[in-house]
Structure 1
Amino acid sequence: MGWNIVIADDEAPAREELVYLLENCEEVDKVTAATGGMDAIKKVKEQAPDVLFLDMDMPDLNGLQVAEIVADIHPQTKIVFSTAYDQYAIHAFKLRAFHYMLKPYDEEDIAIVFRELRKIQQPNDTAPGAPSGTSSMKTSVKLALELEEGIIYVFPKDIIYISKELKHVEVHLYDRAYHVSYTLTELEMKLEPYGFFRCHKSYLVNLAAISEMKSWVNGAYNLMMEDAARSSIPVSRNYVKQLRLKLEI
């Protein structure tokens, strides 16, 4: 059974774009659109959605006001704030927002949300009853890189980061890189169980290969990677909090 979703946005183009993106996700069963804050509350009461995509800036009730009411009437609903501005982020997380997206968003932003939803839906590998040998299987598998001259197999731990420029995706090892036919989203799904994190729309990094995080501008950061070139990888503001939660003890 897929996700039941309500979208609340008073701007028709943004609302229709998000409906389109979500309706093209196989994991989604139903998408219901609301045109404002009061309408969002009405739709939540009617639909009891799993997820509410909530615009911050609406004329009747803003996103924070709607989130407080939804927390009372249907606390199980996960709230994903979507806005063109980032000044609401601290307030959003104080309200235990599940996720926070900055407009304009695309398929990869939606993929990140569903990756996080899958985590709360699927059991841990270490849960009781998990097949024995799971950990050893993870350390023995390799990623197949199909190249013109054949197939190269690499351990996930040997990958430092993965980048995308235009339509070209490159897998970066310590001192070399390979053009591959995978999409960045495909590699994210394959490698997420092996300690990889999507820190930017164009970058996927191996958490174990990060040596430093440096402040940059407007709340963004750069990661210093442990490859031969000491590569610097940007971290989008949307992902800084999640990254620190995964990286730090």
Structure 2
Amino acid sequence: MGYKVVIADDEAPAREELAYLTGQIPDVLSVVTASGGMEAVRRVQEEQPDLLFLDMDMPDLSGRQVAQLLAELQPGLKIVFSTAYDQYAVDAFKLRAFHYLLKPYDEEEVAEVFRELRKAAVPVTPKPAAAGGGCVKLALEVEGGIKYVFPAEVQYISKEGKHVLVHTGGGAYPVGYTLQELEQKLAPYGFFRCHKSYLVRLAAITELKSWINGAYDVRIDDEAGTTVPVSRNYVKELRLKLEI
């Protein structure tokens, strides 16, 4: 499968640089450029691309305006917003952007857009449950013994110093596993590595909130309204897993 791309940016150097980088991607079939918002809308209607790289700040129509127009004209189009200013990140996510790039462009980040595009195109096949999988529980260390909980009772897991703690509605419990081991064991149960020190159960997330430097927090569905950090590198994949 190949991809058709439209790039909209009123700055010629940025437009040409991104056209070059996307042209190096093996499965990109065509790259068409536009120097403004209205031209971007026309190009999208003419080319029917799979992906639109859209500058947020253009003189005739802003990236937001273009995205709002195309939401009606081309509802299946995936949009990657690009800008030199990271304060536009929140607007980009509110507009359900597929991805968000900061200028100057990084070759690896551009390549990551297409890796995620390929991943989004592959249907996820649920893993068959192991025999007796409905009774599988996680062993937590408690005073005088072991407490067993279903994965659905776990809200998130944190690494604090040398200790890994499993957080449930009943408290935080140490476990004898590393965070990486728990990531592998709990992957079939809807857990996601959102930060180098955190795993979170996707069903326990109620809100994604912007923080600083492109990082985000997620709010957990518990009485304390706990927030868990999300590294910038994980935000896009997290949204793909959370959203319809």
Q: TM-score, normalised by structure 1?
A: 0.56
Aligned position for 1:110: 110
Asked if 1:3 is matched to 2:3, the reply is: yes
Aligned position for 1:202: none
Deviation for aligned residue 1:212: 7.8
For 1:47 and 1:219, the matched residues in 2 are separated by 32
SS across alignment from 1:81: strand
Q: Flag structure 2 segments of 5+ consecutive residues without an equivalent.
A: 131-177, 179-185, 201-209, 218-229
SS across alignment from 2:7: strand
What pairs with 1:208-223 in structure 2 (closer than 5 Å)?
210-211=197-198, 218=213, 220=215
Deviation for aligned residue 1:121: 1.2
Q: Deviations over 1:104-160 (max 9, x none)?
A: 122211121112111221122438xxxxx9x9xxxxxxxxxxxxxxxxxxxxxxxxx
Aligned position for 1:34: 34
For 1:208 and 1:54, the matched residues in 2 are separated by 28
Q: Deviations over 1:36-71 (max 9, x none)?
A: 101101101111111100000111101000001111
Asked if 1:73 is matched to 2:73, the reply is: yes
The percent of aligned pairs where both chains have the same amino acid is 59
SS across alignment from 1:4: strand
SS across alignment from 1:53: strand
Against the structure 1 CA distance between its residues 37 and 211, is the aligned structure 2 distance closer, same or farther, given a 3 Å change threshold? closer
Q: Flag structure 1 segments of 5+ consecutive residues without an equivalent.
A: 128-132, 136-173, 175-193, 196-204, 223-233
Number of paired residues? 172
For 2:73 and 2:28, the matched residues in 1 are separated by 23
Aligned position for 1:51: 51
Aligned position for 1:235: 231
Deviation for aligned residue 1:240: 3.9
What pairs with 1:36-185 in structure 2 (closer than 5 Å)?
36-126=36-126
CA RMSD of aligned residues (A): 4.1
For 1:12 and 1:45, the matched residues in 2 are separated by 22
